[in-house]
Amino acid sequence: MQHEARNKGELCWQVSWEGMAGIDPQGSRRTALAAEEHLSSQLLPYSDRKMCGIALTAECIFFVSDPHGLYPLLEATENNDIYAAAWIGIFVGFALLALSILGIVGVMKSSKTLLLVYIILMLITYAFEMASCITAATHRDFLTPNLFLKQMLERYMKSDTDNNNDKQMTEGVTKTWDNLMLQNQCCGVHGPLDWQEYTSAFRMTHNDADYPWPHNCCVMNTRSEPINLDGCKLGVPGFYNSNGCYDAISGPLNRQAWGVAWFGFAILCWTFCVLLGTMFYWSRIAY
Amino acid sequence: MAPSSLALNTFRGGASTSLGSLFQHLTTLLQSQKALQTTCNKSQKTPSQGVQESSGMLSHWVVLVLCCLGQLCADQSMKPQLAAPELATNNPTLTTVALEKPFCMFDSSLHPNKSYAIYLYVMKSSASTISSVVTDSSSKPLDSTFQQTHGGHLGPYKAASFDVPNCVSPPRLADAGDINKVSDVLKQYLFRVGDDGTCLYDPNFLDVCNPPLAPDTTYRFKYVLVDNTEGIVKDQTLWSDPIKTRKAKLPMKIDIWPGRRSGSMIVITSILSVSVFLLLAGLLASVFSALVESEDPSAETKGMSETTQQSELRPQLSSE
């Protein structure tokens, strides 16, 4: 009697955990009615965790591909760890995908060793994803307007570069800012007066009378020339761009950082529950 | 202060008027001042004609005195002004200052058949400026350059010479929004001191050189009306109010410390750390419980074998 009761309870448990792991319980296991009712109420979408892994990979590939071209700015500030977090996210997504298949096989076979391997590998993946989330969230805090302002003033159109690395970063920053100013019709970080209030590497090679601010701050015609240079230099409204570029920079970077951090956090919460359940199930079958 | 410059300052204070109405007000007030000056000129001539009644004489003299005072005050308070801030928003910059041209300031001194030019003099405004006189002993304008006066330090230098601006039909500032007209409007309305960055170093440059000014320095400006044929100074404005060029700060003084951590980062870090701890604890607990329970099956099998042995013994005993 006791054995039967224990076996029935065990079967209930087994079937319900299979349901939560996202596999379709096979017909031979649908013997207990209670288990069946439990299962039907808990039947989650097919391959739920596989989808999480694929989604994480896809999101992180999108961020790493840098559609807004802002990576050179971060590389020059030596603060590009939100990209590192996205790279980790890609590999964690693949790992989640692979491990979910392993987990499904382990639960179907009720194999003690497979499930133990699954639990340990999932814990390692969990740790990596946790590192990615915390990195993205922490380094997002460093991206302040002053950081970009200082870097723009020190690197934009810098002429005397020390070494190859410096030259490469300077070229990256200059090209990125030129594109930003042209595409978003903006100037400077807070506004064009950034160029007037601070000395800069740009000011060393371009005198204030001819270039109070870079000519990319002027309103351009279709041939990428300022429509009226005198109007732009004097600051006549309508001939220069008076708004700052900080929104165009911080918007995409914030979305990337919060996307990696919070989506990873959500996946980890879900994985936490599943792992705890798997451990509990493993301890039940491991005798 | 003269009514026209006072009105201009008031209009500049109220920023919401459009550029067109601003300039219309300016021209109507200047024209009314011109009318005042012509009546004053006429009233200057009347006391010399015929005999008047005593009350008429007295009223005429009162009007004359008031008019003359007003005229003197009007001429004495004409100063070069900064260009309208609605039009030139970047003014003054590090090395340039954009000044409004002297519209209607010299009209009382102009004779119709002569040609005039306006000279602009620039001087640093400091206690050690030696001289602020722009004419020499024979009323001819000074011909000093930027290099001779060390950038306006020793005295005023001549920065520009241009035609008298048209008082009757001044440029409409509302046209500054039109791409085709903006160059003309800017050229007629204002003059940018410090515009030419190359004339100092160009040995072939023969015209009046207008080199960039020094940053973080106070300058004063003066317009002078010169008769082209005689070459003498006919009229001049006062020295303008001190105008300071911008000062530039060093970028390495910008503070890039992000300040406090954001709440999201704290939430993510703390919750994830706790969850990792719980998972490790759960793993240890399940491994431990698996080890503990793996010792029990030997006791269970012992119990099972005893019961089977007992059940086997009983039939043997019963059979016996």
Residues of chain B contacting A134 with CB distance shorter than 8 Å = 265, 268-269, 272
SS3 letters across chain B:
CCHHHHHHHHHHHCCCCCHHHHHHHHHHHHHHHHHHHHHHHHHHHHHHCCCCCHHHHHHHHHHHHHHHHHHHHHHHCCCCCECCCCCCCCCCCCCCEEEECCCCCCHHHCCCCCCEEEEEEEEECCCCCCCCCCECCCCCECCCCCCCCCCCCCCCEEEEEECCCCCCCCCCHHHHHCCCCHHHHHHHHEEEECCCCCHHHCCCCCCCCCCCCCCCCEEEEEEEEEECCCCCEEEECCCCCCEECCCCECHHHCCCCCCCCCHHHHHHHHHHHHHHHHHHHHHHHHHHHHHHHHHHHHHHHHHHHHHHHHHHHHHHHHHC
Whole-angstrom Cα distance, residue B22 to residue B9?
A: 11
Residues of chain A contacting B289 with CB distance shorter than 8 Å = 283
Whole-angstrom Cα distance, residue A187 to residue B162?
A: 34
- Selected residue with higher pLDDT from A6 and B135: B135
B/e letters for B295-308, b = 16+ CB within 10 Å, e = fewer, are eeeeeeeeeeeeee
- Selected residue with higher pLDDT from B65 and A68: A68
* pLDDT at position A126: 94
CB B173 within 8 A of CB B20: yes
Confidence band of B170 (pLDDT split at 50, 70, 90): confident
* pLDDT at position A111: 84
Whole-angstrom Cα distance, residue B225 to residue B228?
A: 9
Report angle CA A249, A261, A180 to the nearest 5 degrees: 10
Q: Which two tokens stand for residue B182?
A: 């903006």
Contact B182 A228 (CB under 8 A): yes
- First and final CA of chain A: distance in angstroms? 19
Consecutive H or E run containing A281: helix A246-285
Whole-angstrom Cα distance, residue A160 to residue A218?
A: 26
How many CB atoms neighbour CB A270 within 10 A?
13
Q: How many residues does chain A have?
A: 287
Nearest-Cα distance to chain B for A200, in Å, is 7
* pLDDT at position B154: 86
Confidence band of B297 (pLDDT split at 50, 70, 90): low
Residues of chain B contacting A79 with CB distance shorter than 8 Å = none
A92-139 per-position pLDDT tens digit: 999 999 998 888 888 888 888 888 999 999 999 999 999 999 999 999
Strand-strand pairing, B157-162 and B116-124: antiparallel
Evaluate whether ipTM surpasses 0.90. no
Q: Is the CA virtual torsion A197, A200, A204, A210 positive or negative?
A: negative
* pLDDT at position B132: 78
Total CB pairs under 8 A between chain A and B? 173
Mutate to test the interface with B, among A88, A157, A211, A234 (most CBs of B within 10 A): A234
Give the list of residues 6+ apart from residue B271 with CB closer than 8 angstroms, or none. Answer: A265
Strand-strand pairing, B233-236 and B218-227: antiparallel
Q: Which of B190, B251, B261 sits opposite A199 (nearest CB)?
A: B251
Residues of chain A contacting B94 with CB distance shorter than 8 Å = 196, 208, 212
Contact B186 A231 (CB under 8 A): yes
* Residue A213: strand, helix, or coil: coil
| Greatest distance between any 2 Cα atoms in chain B | 176
Confidence band of B49 (pLDDT split at 50, 70, 90): very low
Closest CA to A227 of A245, A210, A241: A241
Closest CA to B244 of B214, B216, B212, B223: B216
Contact A235 B91 (CB under 8 A): yes
Residues of chain A contacting B186 with CB distance shorter than 8 Å = 230-231, 234, 236
* Residue A197: strand, helix, or coil: helix
CB B33 within 8 A of CB B8: no
Q: Is B34 exposed, middle or buried (0-12, 13-18, 19+ CB in 10 A)?
A: middle
* pLDDT at position B134: 79
CB B255 within 8 A of CB B95: no
Contact A126 B98 (CB under 8 A): no
Contact A282 B290 (CB under 8 A): yes
Instruction: Please give the DSSP secondary-structure letter assigned to residue A24.
Output: -
Contact A287 B296 (CB under 8 A): yes
* Residue A186: strand, helix, or coil: coil
- Selected residue with higher pLDDT from B112 and B44: B112
Contact B268 A146 (CB under 8 A): no
pLDDT in tens, chain A (287 residues): 444 444 544 544 454 555 444 444 444 444 444 443 333 333 343 357 788 889 999 999 999 998 888 999 998 888 888 999 999 999 999 999 999 888 888 888 888 888 899 999 999 999 999 999 999 999 999 999 999 999 999 999 999 888 999 999 999 999 999 999 999 999 999 999 999 999 999 999 998 888 999 999 999 998 889 999 989 999 999 899 999 999 999 999 999 999 999 999 999 999 999 898 888 888 888 66
Contact A287 B290 (CB under 8 A): yes
Write phi, then psi, for B118 (nearest 5 degrees): -110, 130
CA distances from A276 to A5, A97, A116, A273, B271 (A): 24, 18, 12, 5, 16
- Selected residue with higher pLDDT from B308 and A97: A97
Mutate to test the interface with A, among B182, B198, B210, B247 (most CBs of A within 10 A): B182
Q: Which two tokens stand for residue A236?
A: 């006549």
Residues of chain B contacting A262 with CB distance shorter than 8 Å = 264, 268
CB A8 within 8 A of CB A16: no
* pLDDT at position B16: 39
Mutate to test the interface with B, among A82, A152, A283, A285 (most CBs of B within 10 A): A283
Task: Tell me the pLDDT of chain B averaged across its residues.
Answer: 76
